[in-house]
């Protein structure tokens, strides 16, 4: 392997520039060269039309800041299989031949990984550096830690405005149909409740928890202040079991409609219960908040930070992990191994699994949820009994999330 193309694909997140620097740096140390294929799979499909590619020389690599989130290589959401071109795979191969590329290092999530499996089946040598802030692959993925840290930071920041206005605040975060980022970010910032797709929400249980905790804080405060913070994953279902989506948006190349409105839906459910609860009027009066016709129930508001959770700066963990899996991806390609996903480097060994296995969706472990229910966090259900057993390890535990 002398000439490698680097692609970043799917959604942006922290740690991707670390992948690029790790892959190109390791290639250089082996006397090989890496080139940026810009704009994800769109760039790969159009590679044959490029006049030149940017070579990641040590000098060019030095200009990339690994701490910045996003990707120097750029992204697109393109599913190669869906391109209306019978010669699309030959076109890609011709583009690689034009620039004498021996293989590809591709950093992306489950959708991007499915394309990598497709490319591998058509004889294109690829290695997958796992990337998704949703953390729903079978391996740890670049970007998750950065986004979780940003979510936790936003929750802490929003407590100031929520306390000032005595509001109940609902923070809606990315994650599609898994709740890892909502769960971990919410727990880290001491959110009162976390609503995730893996656990259907009983809004009566959530309401009871909110009512008790919110008014307890208000009535025990010498300045009558308090708030209640809820973190909700965008992929929760509504009462009929349907996705909450933006009906005005068209599906992307992978068939996903834009999820939107989960935070507003939670607000509606809680506000409806506040208005119907006969005890709220007296509780508001005890808190000296009641004003007839103006301030009769606590205000419930939704905030959606959106792309703010995946931009800005990367966490140190993601930069480290990105550099390691980028470097490992080159080593695997150089050893003739392709069609696989790097899981990490541990004890001098590069650990990898078949990409078709790596992209199978991983959900939140409800045994972990039960631990935090015991600590007082509400997950919209009756708290489950903790089922944990003590286990002595006879060897050093492998690093994992």
> Alpha-carbon distance 145 to 140, whole Å?
9
DSSP character at residue 258: P
SS3 344: strand
SS3 174: coil
Residue 35 sits at φ, ψ, to 5 deg, of: -130, 140
Check the CA dihedral 25-328-125-119 and report its sign.
Answer: negative
N- to C-terminal Cα distance for the chain? 32
How many Cα atoms within 13 Å fall on the side-chain side of residue 164? 5
Burial class of residue 299 (count of CB atoms within 10 Å of its CB; 0-12, 13-18, 19+) = middle
Q: Element (H or E) spanning 192, and its range?
A: none
Helix axes 144-165, 316-334, angle to 10 degrees: 160
Sheet bearing 33-36, strands edge to edge: 54-55, 33-36, 3-8, 103-108, 126-130, 340-346, 349-354
Query: What is the maximum alpha-carbon separation in the chain?
Result: 76
What's the token pair of residue 7?
Answer: 């692609």
Per-residue pLDDT of the chain (401 residues), as tens digits, is 899 999 999 889 999 999 999 999 999 999 999 999 999 999 999 999 999 999 999 999 999 999 999 999 999 889 999 999 999 999 999 999 999 999 999 999 999 999 999 999 999 999 999 999 999 999 999 999 999 999 999 999 999 999 999 999 999 999 888 999 999 999 999 999 999 999 989 999 999 999 999 999 999 999 999 999 999 999 888 767 776 655 556 666 565 565 568 899 999 999 999 999 999 999 999 999 999 999 999 999 999 999 999 999 999 999 999 999 999 999 999 999 999 999 999 888 999 999 999 999 999 998 899 999 999 999 999 999 887 788 887 765 555 44
Distances 246 to 230, 250, 317 between C-alpha atoms, Å: 22, 9, 34
The pTM (predicted TM-score) of the whole model is 0.91
Q: What stretches of 277-335 show up as alpha helix (H) in DSSP?
A: 280-286, 316-334
Q: Which of 32, 87, 35 is nearest to 60 (CA)?
A: 35
Active-site residue list: 134
Q: How many residues does the chain have?
A: 401
């Amino acid at each position: 392997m002398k000439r490698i193309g680097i692609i970043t694909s799917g959604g942006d997140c922290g740690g991707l520039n670390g992948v690029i620097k790790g892959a190109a740096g390791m290639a250089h140390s082996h006397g090989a060269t890496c080139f940026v294929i810009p704009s994800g799979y769109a760039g790969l499909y159009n590679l044959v039309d490029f006049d030149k590619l940017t070579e990641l020389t040590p000098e060019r690599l030095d200009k990339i800041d690994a701490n910045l989130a996003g990707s120097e290589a750029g992204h697109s959401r393109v599913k190669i299989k869906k391109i209306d071109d019978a010669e699309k795979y030959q076109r890609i191969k011709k583009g690689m031949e034009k620039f004498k590329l021996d293989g590809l290092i591709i950093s992306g999530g489950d959708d991007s990984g499915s394309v990598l499996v497709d490319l591998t089946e058509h004889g294109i040598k690829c290695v997958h550096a796992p990337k998704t802030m949703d953390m729903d692959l079978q391996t740890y993925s670049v970007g998750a830690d950065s986004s979780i840290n940003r979510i936790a930071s936003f929750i802490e920041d929003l407590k100031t405005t929520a306390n000032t206005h005595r509001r109940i605040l609902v923070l809606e975060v990315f994650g599609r149909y898994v709740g890892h980022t909502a769960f971990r970010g919410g727990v880290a910032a001491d959110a009162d409740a976390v609503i995730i797709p893996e656990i259907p929400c009983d809004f009566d249980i959530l309401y009871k928890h909110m009512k008790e905790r919110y008014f307890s804080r208000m009535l025990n405060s010498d300045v009558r202040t308090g708030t209640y913070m809820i973190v909700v994953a965008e992929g929760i279902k509504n009462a009929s079991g349907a996705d909450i989506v933006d009906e005005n948006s068209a599906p992307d190349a992978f068939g996903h409609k834009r999820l939107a409105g989960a935070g507003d839906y939670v607000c509606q459910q809680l506000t409806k219960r506040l208005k119907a609860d006969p005890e709220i009027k007296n509780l508001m009066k005890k808190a000296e908040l009641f004003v007839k016709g103006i301030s009769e129930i606590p205000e419930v508001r939704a905030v959606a930070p959106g792309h703010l959770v995946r931009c800005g700066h990367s966490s140190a963990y993601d930069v480290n992990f990105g550099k390691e899996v980028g470097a490992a991806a080159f080593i695997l390609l150089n050893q003739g191994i392709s069609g696989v996903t790097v899981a990490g480097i541990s004890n001098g060994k590069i650990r990898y699994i078949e990409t078709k296995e790596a992209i199978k969706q991983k959900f939140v472990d409800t045994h972990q949820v039960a631990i935090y229910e015991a600590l007082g966090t509400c997950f919209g259900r009756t708290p489950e009994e903790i089922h944990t057993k003590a286990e002595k390890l006879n060897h050093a535990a492998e690093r994992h999330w």
